[in-house]
């Protein structure tokens, strides 16, 4: 999709009926909360609630209704012109405009006032006529999920995706105020895992003086946050779940602090002070007795103790096959500069690759059968596997064939074709750059591409990739490479095949 709204980092301030039906009080709420927002420089939308009372409320309840909500709604009603004034004030305060429509006519008002974002309340999340009307307009939509089951949320997601609506979800508990034991903040993680391509936030109704829930929500992955707001006067008091400007300030500050505390999603490089702290606790390698040039650092020749000195061999990097280029006295530090290390066996590169491949599969939630063959393709030798090659996991090979193909970041597979096999690539995770008959195709998760018999093709990945190869029967003598050297060296040179992860085969 193009020109999608970026919901991430959005704060939503819901005025609801806290304007008390007074435009001037609504303008004060916008001004004072706008000042609190401006201190933090965060992306914020101020939200109204729209109801077309002539049709929204049944004629028999237009006066004297026993429904607890209706008298309050009617008492605090504002005109379209009033909302136009408030909308202008929101924009002048540097905030986005948002509104919750509770009926189809209110969606038309959103369009008339050019409100930026539509919010669907939890009570309307499965109001299909209202959702149908909201879906007609090319505006981003946020849906609260209070009281819905996962199956019901799935229905809403499918409904909006089918209509190509740009939308996000809010975890919400529709209890006002919400006590801590009912916040259910793990549902933020649940929704993110269930719908990984949809932004998920937290719409909060807890005690506005308590900033702990918003910090936990951020830690659980909430990327949008919403709460009710108002302003206290001599005559106006706030309900138990609405924030004053000072509480909004503290709420945003707590959320931003939590974002800083949570840090990066990708594993960061350790900062210098952390490295120094850990180094001061590491054990160095010392000689058990006087050691001579050529002696091996076997386990009975050394011991490990702290503190280590700069440039000393650590227990982390000690291996039994290391030998000395200079003598070391008893209890002396074994220094890195006087060591001769045995060359690593070529298969060590494959063992390192297995560790990364397992992690890639785990991250993508792809699980393998108990019994499988794993094939390393290293067309220019194991020593060049990091640059040229791939890992193939055989799932089944009959009249039909399925493999998982994994490339580490930066790997490329050379140009080749098959005489007998037709294959289709289905990308599961990462990004694949496929060159078919000289034409580049960039494939993303979910993409399928057919490779006909006899078609030259190569592939690579900058990010690392996992894709399925679904094909006709695989034959070991059916790959023909553009680089004739690969063909001449034969299959045994460019393949290492092991059972499962090759625990004993590669160790040997």
pLDDT tens-digit series, residues 177-198: 999 999 999 999 999 999 999 9
pLDDT at residue 1 is higher than 70: no
pLDDT for position 492: 85
pLDDT for position 505: 75
**CA 418, CA 456: separation in Å to the nearest integer?**
8
Taking only the tens place, the pLDDT of each residue in 251-309 is 999 999 999 999 988 888 999 999 999 999 999 999 999 999 999 999 999 999 999 99
**CA 382, CA 358: separation in Å to the nearest integer?**
19
Choose from 113-117, 349-353, 371-375 the range with maximum mean pLDDT.
Answer: 113-117
pLDDT for position 491: 87
Of 10-14, 43-47, 71-75, 85-89, the poorest mean pLDDT is in 71-75
Rounded mean pLDDT, 85-102: 98
- Given the structure tokens 């794993």, which residue do they identify? 374
Give the 3-state secondary structure of 59-89. HHHCCCCCCCCHHHHHHCCCCHHHHHHHHHH
* Token pair in block for residue 270: 């350790």
CA distances from 163 to 2, 98, 206 (A): 15, 21, 34
Q: Are 228 and 243 in contact (CB under 8 A)?
A: yes
Rounded mean pLDDT, 353-372: 92
pLDDT for position 507: 63
**CA 403, CA 392: separation in Å to the nearest integer?**
6
- Side-by-side strand order, sheet with 448-451: 448-451, 423-430, 465-472, 400-407, 390-397, 373-377, 495-499
The C-alpha angle with vertex 18 and arms to 14 and 23, in degrees rounded to 5, equals 105
Burial string for 199-215 (b: 16+ CB within 10 Å, else e) reads bbbbbbbbbbeebebbb
Give the SS3 label for residue 504: helix
Q: Could you give all domains of the chain from N- to C-terminal order, each with its CATH number?
A: 10-262 (3.20.20.70), 271-342 (3.90.1210.10), 348-507 (2.60.120.10)
Rounded mean pLDDT, 367-380: 92
pLDDT for position 371: 86
Count CA within 13 A, CB hemisphere, residue 403: 21
The pTM of this model reads: 0.85
Of 68-77, 428-437, 440-449, the poorest mean pLDDT is in 68-77
Taking only the tens place, the pLDDT of each residue in 464-492 is 999 999 999 999 999 999 999 999 998 88
pLDDT at residue 391 is higher than 70: yes
Give the SS3 label for residue 460: strand
Q: Are 450 and 422 in contact (CB under 8 A)?
A: yes
Taking only the tens place, the pLDDT of each residue in 14-41 is 999 999 999 999 999 999 999 999 999 9
- Provide the mean pLDDT of the chain: 94
pLDDT for position 36: 95
């Amino acid at each position: 999709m193009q020109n999608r709204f970026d919901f991430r980092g959005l704060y939503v301030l819901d005025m609801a009926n806290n304007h008390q039906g007074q435009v001037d009080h609504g303008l004060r709420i916008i001004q004072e909360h706008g000042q609190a927002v401006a201190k933090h420089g965060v992306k914020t939308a101020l939200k109204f609630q729209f109801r077309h009372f002539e049709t929204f409320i049944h004629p028999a309840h237009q006066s004297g209704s026993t429904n607890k909500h209706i008298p309050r709604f009617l008492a605090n009603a504002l005109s379209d012109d009033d909302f136009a004034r408030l909308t202008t004030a929101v924009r002048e305060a540097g905030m986005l405009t948002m509104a919750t429509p509770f009926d189809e006519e209110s969606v038309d008002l959103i369009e008339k006032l050019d409100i930026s974002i539509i919010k669907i309340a939890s009570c309307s999340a499965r109001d299909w006529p209202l959702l149908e009307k909201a879906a007609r307009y090319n505006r981003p939509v946020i849906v609260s999920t209070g009281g819905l089951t996962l199956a019901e949320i799935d229905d809403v997601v499918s409904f909006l995706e089918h209509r190509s609506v740009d939308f996000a979800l809010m975890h919400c508990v529709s209890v006002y105020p919400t006590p801590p034991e009912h916040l259910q903040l793990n549902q933020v993680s649940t929704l993110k895992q269930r719908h990984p391509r949809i932004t998920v936030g937290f719409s909060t109704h807890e005690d506005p003086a308590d900033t702990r829930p918003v910090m936990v929500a951020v830690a659980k992955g909430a990327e949008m946050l919403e709460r009710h707001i108002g302003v206290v006067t001599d005559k106006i008091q706030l309900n138990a779940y609405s924030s004053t400007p000072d509480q909004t300030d503290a709420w945003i500050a707590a959320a931003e602090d939590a974002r800083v505390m949570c840090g990066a999603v990708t594993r960061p490089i350790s900062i210098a002070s952390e490295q120094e702290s850990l180094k001061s606790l590491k054990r160095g390698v010392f000689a058990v007795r006087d050691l001579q040039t050529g002696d091996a650092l076997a386990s009975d020749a050394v011991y490990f103790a702290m503190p280590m000195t700069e440039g000393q061999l650590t227990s982390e990097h000690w291996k039994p096959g290391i030998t000395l280029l200079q003598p070391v006295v008893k209890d002396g530090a074994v220094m890195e500069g006087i060591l001769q290390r045995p060359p690593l066996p070529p298969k060590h590169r494959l063992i390192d690759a297995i560790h990364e491949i397992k992690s890639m599969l785990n991250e993508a939630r792809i699980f393998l059968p108990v019994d499988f063959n794993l094939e390393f393709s290293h067309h220019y030798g194991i020593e060049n596997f990091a640059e040229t090659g791939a890992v193939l996991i055989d799932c089944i090979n009959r009249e039909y064939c399925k493999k998982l193909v994994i490339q580490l970041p930066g790997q490329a597979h050379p140009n080749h074709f098959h005489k007998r096999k037709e294959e289709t690539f289905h990308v599961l995770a990462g990004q694949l750059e496929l060159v078919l008959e000289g034409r580049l195709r960039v494939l993303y998760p979910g993409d399928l591409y057919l490779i006909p018999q006899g078609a030259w093709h190569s592939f690579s990945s900058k990010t690392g990739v996992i894709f399925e190869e679904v094909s006709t029967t695989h034959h070991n003598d059916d790959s023909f490479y553009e680089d004739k050297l690969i063909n001449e060296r034969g299959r045994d040179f460019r393949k290492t095949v092991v059972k499962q992860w090759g625990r004993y085969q590669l160790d040997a």
